[in-house]
Every structure is written in structure tokens, then in C-alpha cells.
Structure 1
Amino acid sequence: MLVDTHMHLNVEQFVDDREETIQRAFDAGVAYMIVVGFNRETIPLALELAEQYETIYAAVGWHPVDAIDMCDEDLEWIEDLTQHSKVVAIGEMGLDYHWDKSPKDVQKDVFRRQIALAKKVGMPITIHNREATEDIIDVLKEENAKDVGGIMHCYNDDAKYVPTFLDMNFHISLGGPVTFKNATMPKDVAVQVPIDRLLVETDAPFLAPHPNRGRRNEPAYVKLVAEKIAELRGMSFDELSSVTTENAFKLLKIGDS
């Protein structure tokens, strides 16, 4: 049994075969999924899917790329949604310096406000980081995000930062890049992370794992991620699946936790 801790079945890439995609995941042994809503358009469908399927849950938050679009009412809306029985985390939030839609100061402000909300409601957070690691660390420390902890989503950074995130009460979630033949950083991280702080995800429809790289990703492929991590760590797939599932259950308070 596996948990895909971060995916986006609520985006347009799945409009034609969403139900079939979900069934393929169940058939592949992906028993639980977290669908992440990250703006006004994707949050409602994340909740709809969570309400429709017993083992699909939702995270709700505001993506840094869209930070410039967030208003006070949006944050109040997210706060209200954290009371929903199927919402298990706030996010994805963070910083993204690759795209230039939202200025860095605006991204940081929206990031800080969501951390404050998470602390207010006592809920873990899911962090998006693209080319902004040092600033991510600074904000997390300054806002005492350790109080709630959460997930460093689709970690694809230098392994040297892993101890810092672990010290701040975060789990490390690995996705498709750990299977890429030319990707050394996530492979190093896959071996370094303590097994009780490791999670797996797809970030579907993005970053499909080998041998599906370049195609649309989907939750069923989290099995390929788990198989690769098990190989790198020298452990069985069943053991890796069991431990990462238990980690997700405990952190997100789902399943049999």
C-alpha cells in the first residue's frame, strides 16, 4: 500500500479521464492520495474529490507563483476550509524564483501569512521550493514553522540542506526526479533521509518518473518512485511502502493513524 502525498488531479490535464486515472492508482496499490489545491480554481475541485472518495484527502493553500493574486478574503477562505474533515494540510506554499509573475517580497509575505495560519489552526504545511532554498530556510526559521512542521514537497535540492529541514520538523518527500538517470541530488537525498521522515509523491501531472519521463504523470506512478528509493536504500519495496505509508498516516492524521 502506498500514499501519494502530493498530486494535482484537480487540473485541466485530467479533465477527460479523471475517474479512470484514480482507478489506475487504486489498482497499482496507491490506497491514499492527497490532492493539492493551490489557487481559486483548483481548491474547490480538490475538496470535491476528497468528498467523493473515502481515501482521497485535500491540502489547500496558495502557490507562490500566484501570490500576487491572493487577497485577504482568500486567506480567510483557506482558514475556513481547514475545518473541513478531509483537509489535512495547508499548501502548497513557499517561494518560486524561477517564474517572475509574483515579486519576491509578495511571495514572502503570502508565505509568512500562511505559516501564521497553520500555527493558528495547528496544521502541517506543504512547501514548494524552486531556486529559493536559502530564503525558504530563513522564512521558516523566522516564522517558527517548526511548531507545525510538514513536508518539503518534491525535494530536488542539495542533500546538505536535509538536516536543516529535519531539524525544523519537516518530512522529505521525493517524486519522479529520483528515478531520472542524470539526477544525482535526489538519489543522494533518498539514501540520507532517515526512514521515519521519508514520504513519496508524484506531483502529477508534472515530473513523471522514468520510464514515463516527458509524459503526463499520474498517481499510479508513485509506485515507480517507491521502487527506485527501495533499490537505492537496499531494502524491499514492501518495507519501503509500509514505512512511508505509516509516516504519511502519522503526519497527516489519515488512514489508521
Structure 2
Amino acid sequence: MKLVDTHAHLDLLDDPAAAFERAKQAGVGQIITVGIDLESSRRAADFSRDLYGVFCTVGLHPHEVSKVGPDLWGEFKLLALTVSAVAVGECGLDYYRDLSPRHLQRDAFAAQIELALDLGLPLVVHDREAHSDVLNMLAKGGAERVGGVVHCFSGDAALAQELVSLGFSLGITGVITYKKSDELRALVKKVPLTKLLIETDCPYLSPMPHRGKPNEPAYVTHTHLALAKALGVSPEEVAQVTTDNARRLFSLPYMED
């Protein structure tokens, strides 16, 4: 069973084409490369055109909300329709780095929830130390109509259950391989496997044994194995279910093993 890396930033890799080939050799059949602003969303769109098995999202990261202009959301919509984007995002809130004023982050997040509803696409959500506001905005914005994923999930079991009840999945990264991630390894046991996705967030969050080096889609295999170990189920089952989860959420085409 081939894996899906549901959250990558191919445009931030030194040699995306080479990384793509290594991913294929490692058993990664599909990759979703994620936009963080209009320029990176356009680059993601280019990858989705040029590399078979790569799909793109369009979105504005909370760090980048100063780039909002009067035509931005219309440009995102046009791009999404032109390239058949599979999701809106990476969008959300980041109260850890606070690189953008919080009220502007919330405005941009609300606009992208509306855009996702308009396009009928799921959301790729960034949530760092903003759990309550993220949950409230998703609920009040009607995001359960399209669902999505909270990528690199860092909340507790209660938040996980609230998100699952809204129809959202949780993205599990290489963090699950870290020695100090006992809480995450315990948490995934409390979430239905049908609501878990695996991702790299490359070039960030490299799993063991590659920690400290740039991450890439091929390394999602380490996350896959660590998740299987944490759940106490076979790697084959985790591969099958997480791949099916990704296909279902993002409407990805079936791929032969």
C-alpha cells in the first residue's frame, strides 16, 4: 500500500524533483504540496501540473496575513478552480510566534473558511497555541460542511474529540517519533484511525533518525511506522486506512499499489 504525504512544502526544498523521485522509491504515491501565500500557492499549482501524483492547495498562512489585498481571495478562487486544488489552506491562527496581529489572523482565517465553503473544498488548518479560537471559528463558520485537517496536531484529547465531531481529521507529523512525544503517542489511541492522516510538513519537523536535517516526503514512512507502533496495529493497516482517509478527504484519485 502506497502512502500519502498530506502536507508538504515542495517549493521550500532545494531539489523538489529529486525529492519527489526519492518519495516514489520509498513508497509514497501521492503528495499534497501546500500554499502559504499567493506566490507559493502558484508554485504548488505548478508542481501539481508537472509531477504526476502531486496535488496542491491554495491558502494564506497566519504569518502572511499582511499580504491581504482587495483582490486576494478572488485570485485564490480563480487559481483553485484553474488547477483543481484539493483544499484551501494552509490557513488558521498562530498565537505562538504572533508574527501577525491576531485580529488580522482571525479575519484572514474567516475569509478562507468562507472560500472553502464557496469552493466546496476541505480546509488545511494551522493551529499553534490558538486552540479555542480555531475551534470556535471553525464551528461558527460552518466548516463542518466541508471538513478538513488540523495539520501537525498539538492539542489535547478533548480538543481532538471536538474537532473529530466537526468532521475534521488530525495530521500526524514526525513529531510522533521524538523521544519526548509520549503525550502524542497516547493521544492517537483515543482518536479513530479513520480520522488520522500522516504528513511531513517538509522541510520542517524531520522524524527520527533524520531530525536536525531538512525533511522530505520520503520520510513520511518513519511517521507511518511510529504511528502503527503507537496504536499497536500493523503498518499495513495504518497505510491502508490513512491512505483511504487522504483519498476521501481530498478527493484524490485511486492509485495502484
Q: Which band: TM-score by shorter chain?
A: over 0.9
Q: Deviations over 1:37-81 (max 9, x none)?
A: 111331121011100012100011000011122112111111112
Task: Quote the residue 2:221 is aligned against.
Answer: 223
Residue type of the partner of 1:96?
A: D
1:238, 1:161 → 2: CA distance? 28
Amino acid at match of 1:204: C
Deviation (angstroms), 1:103: 0.5
Aligned to 2:17: 19
Q: Name the TM-score, length of structure 2 as normaliser.
A: 0.96
- Percent identity of paired positions between Structure 1 and Structure 2: 35
Name the residue aligned to 1:243: 241
Residue number in structure 2 paired with 1:7:
8
Q: Indicate conservation of the 8 Å contact 1:157/1:185, yes or no.
A: no
Match of 1:208 among 206, 209, 212: 206
- Secondary structure of the corresponding residue to residue 149 of structure 2: strand
TM-score, normalised relative to structure 1: 0.96
Q: What 5-or-longer segments of structure 1 have no aligned partner?
A: none
What SS does the aligned partner of 1:157 have? coil
Between the aligned partners of 2:80 and 2:46, the Cα distance in structure 1 is 14
SS of residue matched to 2:179? coil
Flag structure 2 segments of 5+ consecutive residues without an equivalent.
none
> Residue type of the partner of 1:162?
A
1:95 paired residue among 87, 93, 96 = 93
User: Where does 1:143-182 land on structure 2 (aligned, <5 Å)?
Assistant: 143-182=141-180
Tell me whether 188-197 or 43-52 shows the greater mean CA deviation. Answer: 188-197
CA distance in structure 1 between the partners assigned to 2:76 and 2:152 by the alignment? 23
Identify which of 63, 66, 74 aligns with 2:64. Answer: 66
Match of 2:129 in 1: 131
Letter in 2 for 1:35: T
User: What is the deviation of 1:85?
Assistant: 4.2
Greater CA drift, 77-86 or 153-162? 77-86
RMSD of equivalent CA atoms = 1.2
Query: What is the rounded CA distance, in whole Å, between the counterparts of 1:83 and 1:253 in structure 2?
Result: 14
Tell me what 2:231 maps to.
Answer: 233
Secondary structure of 2:100 counterpart: coil
Give runs of aligned pairs for residues 69-80 of structure 1, distance below 5 A.
69-80=67-78
Q: CA deviation at 1:154?
A: 1.0
SS in 1 for 2:89: strand
What is the alpha-carbon distance in structure 2 between the residues aligned to residue 9 and residue 159 of structure 1?
31
- Return the alpha-carbon distance in structure 1 between the equivalents of residues 67 and 187 of structure 2: 34
**Aligned AA (2:11):** N
Query: Quick check: 1:176–1:210 contact (8 Å CA) kept in 2?
Result: yes
SS in 1 for 2:194: helix
Aligned to 1:122, which of 117, 120, 123? 120
For 2:227 and 2:251, the matched residues in 1 are separated by 24
Task: Give the whole-Å Cα distance in 1 for the aligned partners of 2:221 and 2:162.
Answer: 28
Q: CA–CA distance in 2 between the matches of 1:84 and 1:239?
A: 35
